[in-house]
Structure 1
Amino acid sequence: MRARAGRTRRALVPSRSVWHACCVNGTSAFQSALYSHKHDEQETCMNPFDLKQLGLDVEYPYRQQYDNYIGGKWVPPVKGEYFENVSPINGQPFCRIPRSGADDIELALDAAHAVRRQWGKTSVAERANLLLAAADRMEKNLKLLAVAETIDNGKPLRETMAADLPLAIDHFRYFAGCIRAQEGGISEIDDNTVAYHFHEPLGVVGQIIPWNFPLLMAAWKLAPALAAGCCVVMKPAEQTPASVLVLMELIGDLFPAGTINIVNGFGKEAGEALATSKRIAKIAFTGSTPVGKHILRAAADSLIPSTVELGGKSPNIFFADVLDQDDAFLDKALEGLAMFALNQGEVCTCPSRILIQESIYERFIEKAVARVERIKSGHPLDLQTMIGAQASQQQLDKILSYIDIGRGEGAQCLTGGERAAPAADLGTGYYVKPTMLLGNNKMRVFQEEIFGPVASVMTFKDEQEAIELANDTFYGLGAGVWTRNGTRAYRMGREVEAGRVWTNCYHLYPAHAAFGGYKQSGIGRETHKMALSNYQQTKCLLVSYQAEALGFF
């Protein structure tokens, strides 16, 4: 579940004339200055961030300017530089974020190292209780965090409230349980010699998170690291730097100062400084495959462990028997196909290659296109909206360029294929219609990760061809198999080269299911109790209880 962390899309602030303070009815006058529009009295357009008018009974979550969260305090960037943080909803800035560099990373590392021994020796019961307390606060403020995430990322509020935040909360609770249940080991070597095995924290770790699921990806990385007893220096993606700062305002005081440190900035400045630091014991990265390779080279140079969750081009395979009956299973399968538009397609496991058995293609694709065209575009803060805005202008441009590439390669556009304009007052936002392109697996739109609501459609004759087409990719993160035949489902699940194969479902991300990729989709696993091992090292204490010498010398 990742985006290309570390890519710049915002310039430095040219003027501070609009940055003034005043808050009325949960919406600041600052926003009114930025987002006011002249509308005809007959029009129904509204200020996109007027939460009360949108029917949201929650206070506006953001301040006008943030600093880095270091050592339990808000610390201005060393060079005093900030950049504008733009909301994809309307393409306008809504807060200012530190443009940090190597000096700021060093301050965060100082804070983390100052407390790492104290935190590492904290009992597992206390660590677990703090994770549970954090989850409780997040749950109490779920709507506030969900609104913050939607404004920062552009995804629909119905998703942040029903998926992103509940999953993030559950990950904190899950790893609280994991660390309480984790046990060491004892090996009896002989009557007088015993080997004890202890799990010890790595120490100070670096984490770089993406822009497609900012709060959920923060939870995926923070929860196991904190549970293991590690201190964290985290660099959010510059495209979505703000929602995690709202999270720190809510839960930061629960943990010892320096345990969690958030440093914002651009990838080539702050991200590079963190990834190449000799003061971290591990680097965890979620982002693009090219940047992931760079992260791995940096980790190799420092000789530290690393986990990288990278790109994907996931196949979603539909066998003929899905059409055997017009029932709930068929309805579920059609929803599973439309899942390529979830989170605007900005998901590393996006089912962006649709494989349909040729014997049912015409009948099935008619139903599939109709289902996709039912997806409701609209204001991301409207709970009826099903698809929101792409995360940045850069990403919007990339998606549209790939649609053009597909057409140039001879792909047939079955639906979509253009920008969306969900409302007059959102015309400067980053919206794309869900798009389906019919073609073949050799086309670039079938092989290259687009990271948007674009699915490439092809047919297959039989099970063997489905396997060959599914595996004909550099990636291996996710896949989907849809069939009423349980034996076939098992065979396909074992043959498809992917770290996770959803069977008769798609886009489920429970905390206790391992997540990670094959091939160029990454190294290591996130979520599940095995993620704890990413942040721990094993100490063997070999003890002899024998009084006599061995007799060698």
Structure 2
Amino acid sequence: MATQLDTTEDEYGIKSEYGHYIGGEWIQGDSGKTIDLINPANGKVLTKIQAGNAKDIERAVSAAKDAFPKWSQSSANERQDILIEIARRLKERHSHYATLETLNNGKPMRESMYFDMPQAIGQFELFAGAAFGLHGKTHDYADAIGIVHREPLGVCAQIIPWNVPMLMMACKIAPALASGNTVVLKPAETVCLSVIEFFMEMADLLPPGVINVVTGYGQDVGEALVTHPDVVKVAFTGSVATARRIIQYASANIIPQTMELGGKSAHIICEDADIDAAVESATMSTVLNKGEVCLAGSRLFLHQSIEEEFLEKFKTALEGIRQGDPLDMATQLGAQASKMQMDKVESYLSLATEEGAHVLTGGTRSDNADLASGHFIKPTVFTNVKNSMRIAREEIFGPVTSVITWSDEDEMMKQANDTSYGLAGGVWTANLNRAHRISRGLETGTVWVNRYYNMQANMPVGGYKQSGFGREFSHEVLNHYTQTKSVVINLQEGRVGMFDQ
């Protein structure tokens, strides 16, 4: 096993190898094994990370536990200052982190610059002020005063996915830090370069052990982290299949969880919609982050009366999407984040035609010779889709949209809600009553009216059904990182008198 990390840097400032971040130090993993981080646009190795194991988790949890007593008693002022400084540093090196996100994930630079990074920065700004909002309350009684204290939980396990790593990291650690908890973070082993670089720059701001980062495969570190007796809460974003295992692990010590899982969201286009604007939203929903977005409106419910015009414009829009080098600011569609993900999407492309769906556009890997070494899929739309088909029921996580036509609103709503998921949804209509009626009727955590992906600060995000439980991206999440303690101060002097002898 090597005794020292190779920290040679390339043209992007990327080191040859990264360690775990535990107790304020960058250390090599116990196993001595590493994992390659790949650039999905060309298949080249970017760097190496540690392949963690249970011993690494033990060390990280111990560091977080040791740091908790002092950090939990830190002032709101101190925590606010740290979160504000994190946001300031992110803004200062905005393009640097966006570049790392693009290199490792394959998303277009324009998305990393104008979506991922502003949203991540916004989470630290949002929760900076929240440090002062964690107050308790009092209850006045004739014979007593009731005091409700709000306290941090302790050591929190946080497991984040590979699709938007900087944003997922920010929405997890910002509220945890603001509320006085300590953290062991497990990022995705395929895409985490930007997150690790983030902690390298922010390490001087945080007391040792407050945040710890352990990289590695889920099967090697996930169970050890979530079942550790000193971990008191787990926050997870990822697949339903993995969530089931994590929920089982969490049951060992009966600890609370927040789960933000998959989606198969209904994007509903009514006959009175602004067609051009709706086409733009449908295009964005298809290609944003290569479709690797749990909130994507991947089931497009299109009113029959506007079907021909809408699909013609939708096809034209998608066929005009510029797919290419993700680092090129002109690129609108990048590479799927890994070969595994590309293979999964391709399997659904084949399945769709077997199920009887028709290809409106796309349906294959990119045929651009310059992109042959990367994981590029053409933006794809299927028509003649029934809600019972697997492509309409299972999360594909690629640039794929399935069109389901409708004419009767009641029947359409039944189909829209006939899914095991309930994360997001959208509706396009000029009718205010209908907008409210459909929004109320959709069994989903977020509904966007007349603009999909209309993300606004401090709006809760979370799921119904198998899309998970708990809410993030808003101050509501602070309830998941704190607990209450009731203290009753007696004001009535003397004995009660019921048990006199």
Q: TM-score, normalised by structure 1?
A: 0.87
8 Å contact kept, 1:377–1:422: no
* 1:508 positional shift: 2.9
Which of 60, 65, 83 lines up with 1:108 in the alignment? 60
1:346 is aligned, of 276, 292, 304, to 292
Give 2:381's match in structure 1, choosing from 413, 433, 436. Answer: 436
Partner residue, 1:8: none
State the Cα deviation string for residues 445-480 of structure 1 (Å, max 9, x = none). 011110100111110012112211111111111111
Shift of 1:421: 4.9
Distance 1:246-1:548 versus aligned 2 partners, 3 A rule: same
Instruction: Find the counterpart in structure 2 of residue 273 from structure 1.
Output: 224
Residue identity in the other structure for 1:547: E
- Kindly state the Cα deviation for residue 423 of structure 1 after the two structures are TM-superposed: 6.0
- Find 2:16's aligned residue among 64, 85, 97: 64
Mapped pair 1:386 → 2:338: no
Gaps of 5+ in 1: 1-12, 28-59, 323-328
**Aligned residues of 1:61 and 1:147 also touching (Cα < 8 A):** no
CA, structure 1 residues 66+20, in 2 after alignment: closer, same or farther (shift >3 Å)?
A: closer
**Any idea what the Cα deviations from partners look like across 1:214-254, whole Å, max 9, x if unmatched?**
01000010000111100000000111132111000121210
The structure 2 residue matched to 1:169, chosen from 121, 145, 150, is 121
Once residues 509 and 107 of structure 1 are traced to their aligned partners in structure 2, the CA distance between those partners, rounded to angstroms, is 38
Once the two structures are superposed, residues 76-110 of structure 1 have per-residue CA deviations (whole angstroms, 9 ceiling, x without a partner) of 10121112111112112110110000000011011
What's the CA shift for 1:20? 8.3
Structure-2 separation of matches of 1:181 and 1:281: 22
SS in 2 for 1:301: coil
What is the rounded CA distance, in whole Å, between the counterparts of 2:280 and 2:368 in structure 1?
22
After TM superposition, give the deviation of residue 21 of structure 1 in Å.
Answer: 7.8
Aligned to 1:545: 491
1:310 to 258, 261, 265: 261
Shift of 1:398: 0.4
- Local SS of the residue matching 2:447: strand
Check if 1:197 corresponds to 2:148.
Answer: yes
- Give the Cα–Cα distance (whole angstroms) in 2 for the partners of residues 512 and 278 of structure 1: 33
What is aligned with 1:475? 421
- Structure 2: tracts of 5 or more residues without a match: none
Partner of 1:400: 346
2:38 and 2:170 map into 1 onto residues whose CA distance is 23
Partners in 2 of 1:447 and 1:500 — Cα distance?
19
Q: Which amino acid aligns with 1:440?
A: K
**Aligned AA for 2:29?**
P
What does residue 5 of structure 1 align with? none
Query: Alignment length, in residue pairs?
Result: 495
Q: Could you give the per-residue CA deviations for residues 157-192 of structure 1, whole angstroms, max 9, x where no partner exists?
A: 1001101111111101101112223431110122x4
Correspondence list, 1:215-230, <5 A: 215-230=166-181
CA shift digits 1:291-314 (9 cap, x unpaired):
111111221221110011111101
Q: CA deviation at 1:408?
A: 0.7
The equivalent of 1:30 in structure 2 is none
> Which of 229, 236, 239 lines up with 1:285 in the alignment?
236
Quote the offset at 1:340 in angstroms. 1.9
Q: Secondary structure at the match of 2:38?
A: strand
Q: Deviations over 1:401-459 (max 9, x none)?
A: 100000111110000011115562x4211110000011211111011110100111110
Aligned residue among 196, 210, 226 for 1:245: 196
Amino acid at match of 1:196: I
Alignment root-mean-square deviation, CA: 1.6
Give the letter for the 1:235 counterpart. K
The 3-state SS of whatever aligns with 1:375 is coil
TM-score normalized with structure 2 length: 0.96
| Cα distance in 2, alignment partners of residues 216 and 20 from structure 1 | 28
Contact 1:319 1:482 in 2 (8 A): yes
Instruction: Please tell me whether residue 368 in structure 1 is matched to residue 314 in structure 2.
Output: yes
